[in-house]
């Protein structure tokens, strides 16, 4: 019995064969699936799927990369959506600095915007720096608002972090003992994992643990305490071997768990039992 803790079942990738996707998950021993909202509309769709399928639950939130389109007030609609008993967490929320305005500009113009000019910063570099700061500030505000809502509702949070490690931990620090977070799709170092666990948060692993270049992440999954992590697919992304490059789906949670169990030298059944128990404690399945 496994819990798929991070799927995006509301994405159009699953429209053609949705019922078969759920059937294959059940056949693989994946008994519960948490579908994750990335915007207000995505969160609504997640709840709709959860209300129609007994093995599906919803996390609702606004992803940091949607901050520009999210509008001034995301909390009022999220608070209303959270009234559904099928909502088990807030998220995914967090920080993502991978595609800052300066990075996007550099790619578009095929130049390095932040490269040091011989005579100091150019006007273009200064403008990009200002835009980066504004974008980061908006993300931080959106993140904090959702953390506040999670505390208000007594829910835990699903955390997205990309190229923003220090800022993410800094924002979460004041919420210690008020809520717990799971750093989904964890791909960091053992030291970073221990930083998260030291704050009583969790990490979650995807199909990356099956990749040839995923040895470092697989080693982290092998070393941290067994009750401190969960398993996921982040489908339709990151399909594990032998399906890499194809659409991912919740049934592949089993492949993620098998890879970690082998790395830890324990039976799959033991890993499934512990990660399921961790998920049951973290998510509010019985609201």
Per-residue pLDDT of 178-232, as tens digits, reads 999 999 999 999 999 999 999 999 999 999 999 999 999 999 999 999 999 999 9
Cβ neighbour number for residue 6 with a 10 Å cutoff: 27
The whole-number average pLDDT for the span 86-103 is 92
Can you give the pLDDT at residue 102? Answer: 78
Give the list of residues 6+ apart from residue 58 with CB closer than 8 angstroms, or none. 34, 35, 36, 37, 43, 46, 47, 49, 50, 84, 86, 87, 88
CATH topology of domain 2-282: TIM Barrel (3.20.20)
Residue 117 DSSP one-character state: P
Cis, peptide link before residue 276, omega less than 30° from 0: no
Is the pTM here over 0.75, yes or no? yes
More confidently predicted of 116 and 195:
195
Q: Give me the percent of the chain exceeding a pLDDT of 90.
A: 84
pLDDT for 113 beyond 50: no
Structure tokens belonging to residue 165: 């490690």
Cβ(180)–Cβ(230) below 8 Å: no
For 70-99, what is the mean pLDDT? 95
Distance separating alpha carbons of residues 27 and 33, to the nearest angstrom: 13
Measured between alpha carbons, how far is residue 163 from residues 94, 100, 167, 187 in Å?
A: 11, 10, 9, 11
Say if residues 36 and 59 touch (Cβ distance below 8 Å). yes
Asked if pLDDT for residue 286 goes beyond 90, the answer is no
């Amino acid at each position: 019995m496994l819990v798929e803790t991070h799927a995006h079942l509301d994405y159009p990738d699953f429209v053609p064969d949705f019922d078969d996707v759920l059937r294959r998950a059940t056949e693989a021993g994946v008994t519960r699936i948490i579908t994750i909202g990335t915007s207000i509309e995505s969160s609504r769709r997640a709840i709709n799927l959860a209300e129609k399928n007994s093995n599906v639950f919803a996390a609702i939130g606004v992803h940091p990369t949607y901050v520009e389109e999210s509008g001034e007030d995301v909390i009022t609609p999220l608070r209303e959506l959270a009234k559904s008993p099928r909502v088990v967490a807030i998220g995914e929320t967090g920080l993502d600095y991978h595609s800052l305005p300066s990075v996007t500009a550099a790619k578009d113009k095929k130049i390095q915007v932040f490269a040091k000019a011989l005579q100091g910063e150019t006007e273009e570099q200064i403008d990009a720096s200002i835009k980066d700061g504004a974008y980061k500030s908006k993300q931080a505000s959106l993140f904090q608002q959702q953390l506040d809502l999670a505390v208000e509702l007594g829910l835990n949070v699903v955390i997205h972090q990309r190229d923003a490690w220090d800022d993410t931990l800094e924002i979460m620090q004041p919420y210690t003992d008020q809520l717990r977070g799971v750093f989904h799709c964890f791909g960091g170092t053992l030291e970073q994992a221990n930083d998260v666990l030291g704050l009583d948060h969790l990490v979650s692993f995807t199909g990356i643990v099956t990749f040839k270049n995923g040895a470092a992440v697989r080693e982290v999954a092998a070393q941290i305490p067994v009750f401190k992590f969960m398993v996921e697919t982040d489908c339709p992304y990151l399909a594990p071997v032998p399906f890499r490059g194809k659409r991912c789906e919740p049934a592949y949670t089993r492949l993620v768990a098998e890879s970690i169990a082998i790395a830890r030298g324990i039976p799959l059944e033991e890993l499934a039992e512990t990660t399921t128990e961790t998920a049951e404690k973290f998510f509010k399945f019985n609201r």
